[in-house]
Structure 1
């Protein structure tokens, strides 16, 4: 069993990474139903919360069915981070997470996200401000460092632990790498194996199959794995990994009926949460991955991303179920546009 404050997780938990424009309540719901143990919201700007920005406030929506769930905040100002932590606490998440890892320009240019890796003293001040402002467990997600010449995760981990954080998730890339190249888990393992570290350490980056999850679990000894891009349009990845870790056997790929059922659930929750127009519009980005691997599926995807009513979309989904009822999908990895999943985990 892994504990974060008073939160009890399974022995090797699988975490859903916080992903901008992805990890909303509808997406979290389908990941929870398919085995995710701990969920995180999209990241939320501390300045936006204080300004009462509508989009930032909407990201505070959490639901009992998805617990345990953490709300992630980011920013570069101590007072703003402290105040936003107090605002976050009013909606009663299970924990508060700080983003010190987002690499995209619009975030780092404001001195937030991965930019804070260039100033560890500022990072500790920001972390202390949050820890001192909430009674909830505080966790952090970060990267190895700003670039290859300034990898500082070992010092960062110890300093953050001293600030009072209760778990640390590490993406095995520097900010300069963005999502290119291969995540380096050796330094993540070094943090986990440091006898001075006593908080849970979760690894993040490039886990896209049950086999790799088991390999990295055994090789690097982390307390759990955080999964981001591999879950987009494929929430089954969590249960597939769990089953493989327990039995050494691969689950069969989800059938077209299972895929369509999850699409419907995701779509209807999206409409319920965002309203019909926006819910249908924002669901369009997910169809490619949900249906990837089926021959000649492009015609149907094109229909799904142009239709504007639930009944019309449901008709297409029924046709997909009928046409592909006995057609197995190829085993494929999700297609991820890094601009679309800007602040996602690996």
Structure 2
């Protein structure tokens, strides 16, 4: 078993990464139902929470069937992060996570997210402020460093553990890489191999198939993996990885009936949580990923993204099931060449 403070997780847990405009309760629900062991909210601005910004407050919504779940916050000011942690504490998640890895410009220019990688002393102070302000276990998600010349994750891991974090998730890219190129898990392995490190270390980056999860587990020795983009439109990846680890065999790809049923669950939860119009509108970004691989899907997809009534969307989904009944999905292509680094 893997433990984050008092939170017990299975051996080699699979974590759903916090993704802006993706990891909301409806999306988390379908991932949880399909095998995610630990999930996080979308990242939440500490300043937004303090200002009582509606969007930031809404991101605090968590539900009992999601547990264990963490609320992730970001910011570059110690006082704001401490106060945000206290606000998070009142909503009673299982843990609070700090984002020191987001590479997008609008976050970095505010001195938050991956920008903090340029000032490890500040990162330590921010983390310490959060740890002191909450009764919850505190974890951190970060990257290898700001750029290839400043990869400092080994020092970062030691110093953050020393101020009290209970787990560390590391994306195997620098901020300057954004999401380009292959993730380098060698530095992640070095953190895990460091005898000073006692907390769980989770790897993140390029895990998009069961073979990769097993290969990276065996090669780099991490305690678990965090999956982000590969779960968008394909929440089945969690159970597929678990089945492969257990049996060495692949589950068959989800059928059209299974895909449409998950779309329907996602849609109805979205409308229930966000309201009719925003729930329908924000669901539109997901149809392409859910229906990937279907030939001649463009007309159906166009209808799905223009209809404004749930009942009509349900009808289109029924038409899709009927039209593609018996269609055999091919397994997703696995690019194993992303394992571009030895573990020396």
TM over 0.5: yes
Q: Which residue of 2 aligns with 1:274?
A: 274
Secondary structure of residue in 2 paired with 1:99: strand
* Gapped regions of structure 1 (runs ≥ 5): 335-346
Distance 1:188 1:76 in 2: 24
Q: C-alpha separation between the residues in 2 aligned to 1:5 and 1:136?
A: 9
Q: 1:58-77 alignment to 2 at 5 Å?
A: 58-77=58-77
* Cα distance in 2 between the residues matched to 1:14 and 1:99: 18
> CA separation in 2, counterparts of 1:325 and 1:101?
43
Could you say which residue in structure 2 is the equivalent of 1:168? 168
Determine the C-alpha separation between the residues in 2 that align with 1:172 and 1:145: 9
Give the whole-Å Cα distance in 1 for the aligned partners of 2:225 and 2:146.
22
> What SS does structure 2 have at the residue aligned with 1:300?
helix
Displacement, 1:333?
Answer: 6.4
Query: Residues of 2 paired with 1:129 and 1:271: CA distance?
Result: 37
Counterparts of 2:215 and 2:33 in 1: how far apart (Å)?
A: 25
Q: Note if 1:246 corresponds to 2:243.
A: no
SS at match of 1:259: helix
1:159 aligns with 2:170: no
Give the whole-Å Cα distance in 1 for the aligned partners of 2:124 and 2:333: 37
Q: Secondary structure at the match of 1:42?
A: coil
Q: Does the residue aligned with 1:226 lie in a helix, a strand or coil?
A: strand
Question: Within 2, Cα distance between the matches of 1:332 and 1:226?
Answer: 19
1:206 partnered with 2:206 = yes
Q: Name the residue aligned to 1:195.
A: 195
Structure 2 unaligned residues grouped into runs of 5+? 335-344
Q: Match for residue 237 of structure 2?
A: 237
CA distance in 1, matches of 2:259, 2:94: 30
Paired residues of 1:208 and 1:333 also in contact (CA < 8 A): no
Instruction: Provide the TM-score with structure 2 as the length reference.
Output: 0.96
Match of 1:106 in 2: 106
TM-score (norm 1): 0.96
- Hey, what's the Cα distance between the residues in 2 that align with 1:140 and 1:165? 7
Q: Highest relative contact order (Cα 8 Å, sep 6+), 1 or 2?
A: 1
Q: Does the CA-based 8 Å contact 2:131-2:138 persist in structure 1?
A: yes
Superposition CA RMSD, Å: 0.9
